[in-house]
Amino acid sequence: MVTRILVVEDHPLFAEAICGVLLSAIKGVDVICATTLNEAKELLDKDRRFDLVLLDLWLPDTHGFGGLIELRRCYPKLPIVVVSAFADPNVVEKTLVCGAAGFISKATARTDLVSAVSSAIAGDVVVPSELLGLDASAGAELKSLTKRLRSLTRQQLRVLEMLCQGLLNKQIAYELEVGETTVKAHVSEILRKLSVTSRTQAVLEVSKLDFGAVLALYDGENGDGGISTGQAVASAVAV
């Protein structure tokens, strides 16, 4: 089976280099390149069979975490690994907060790049522990929690956001215009996927990542009183 990777990178030399490395070192891969976020979304909308996205944080039509959050919102089940020159521990940690499947520094050696991409294809969260600025146990916990959050569907993320706001099932059902039974089913799945037994525990788990600002993007709309991408990113990266 062919593994399809989308590389979103506007620097032609680096894009060519990373595509060449992946094609020569990993068997059975097909690598497609996009130079802007909009081009990447067009490719993803035309063909949903991509297995992994390698995303630069700085593109002509997006800067910082905005592009990552947008792709995470539109394609919640698609693993996205950030590949960036900004290998600061805070940037790496907030990359995970925004839903990435990992972080790879552009200074990473060829063999480490191949190893990281192979691990991401296998479903692992790929972040060098030394870049997290955390001890080993805390880093492992963060990776595990991030992976569990990524398993939630878009609707489940919206329900989780409202749980964090303290809304009851009846209130959530009203806001989403669905039946209360549907909300109960979503809550049960959220608890199962997060490996917790109560709504309170789910909220506490999410609070470890300060994920509320990111989740708000699923309901907010620019210009209509909702939270904007810029506001959410600014809040999400605040320490």
DSSP 151-210: TS-HHHHHHHHHHHTT--HHHHHHHHTS-HHHHHHHHHHHHHHHT-SSHHHHHHHHHTTT
* d(C-alpha 110, C-alpha 137), whole Å: 27
Tell whether pTM > 0.85.
Answer: no
Domain limit, last residue, from 82, 108, 136: 136
CA angle at 87 for the pair 106 and 111, rounded to the nearest 5°: 40
- 75 and 35 in one domain? yes
- 210 and 125 in one domain? no
Number of domains in the chain: 2
Interval 161-172: pLDDT, tens: 888 778 899 999
- 132 and 92 in one domain? yes
- 82 and 178 in one domain? no
Q: What is the pLDDT, as a whole number, of residue 113? A: 92
Domain limit, last residue, from 136, 162, 181: 136
Q: What percent of the chain has pLDDT over 90?
A: 38
Q: What is the pLDDT, as a whole number, of residue 151? A: 81
Interval 201-227: pLDDT, tens: 887 777 665 454 444 444 443 333 333
Domain limit, last residue, from 75, 108, 136: 136
Report residue 73 as tokens.
């919102």
Query: What's the domain range around 211?
Result: 149-236
Question: What residues contact residue 56 under an 8 Å CB cut-off, 6+ apart?
Answer: 8, 9, 10, 11, 82, 83, 84
End-to-end CA distance of the chain: 43
Q: What is the pLDDT, as a whole number, of residue 227? A: 33
Tell me the CATH number at 117.
3.40.50.2300
- 106 and 165 in one domain? no
- 175 and 113 in one domain? no
Average pLDDT, stretch 49-54?
94
Of 10, 16, 42, 41, the closest CA to residue 31 belongs to 16
- Is 184 or 202 the better-scoring residue by pLDDT? 184
Q: Are 67 and 35 in contact (CB under 8 A)?
A: no
Average pLDDT, stretch 78-104?
85
Mean pLDDT (the chain) is: 80
Is position 122 within any domain? Answer: yes
Predicted confidence (pLDDT) at residue 200 exceeds the cutoff of 60: yes
- 31 and 107 in one domain? yes
Which residue's structure tokens are 């972080």? 103
- 28 and 101 in one domain? yes
Minimum mean pLDDT range among 94-103, 143-152, 156-165: 143-152
Backbone angles phi, psi at 7, to 5 degrees: -100, 120
Is position 11 within any domain? Answer: yes
Is position 113 within any domain? Answer: yes
- 177 and 107 in one domain? no
Average pLDDT, stretch 81-85?
91
Tell me the CATH number at 156.
1.10.10.10
Q: What contacts 24+ positions apart, CB below 8 Å, involve 111-119?
A: 113/18, 113/21, 114/21, 114/22, 114/25, 114/26, 116/81, 117/5, 117/22, 117/26, 117/52, 117/54, 117/81, 118/26
Q: What is the pLDDT, as a whole number, of residue 225? A: 35
Split at pLDDT 50, 70, 90, the class of 131 is low
Is position 143 within any domain? Answer: no
Of 123, 214, 124, the closest CA to residue 160 belongs to 214
- 121 and 9 in one domain? yes
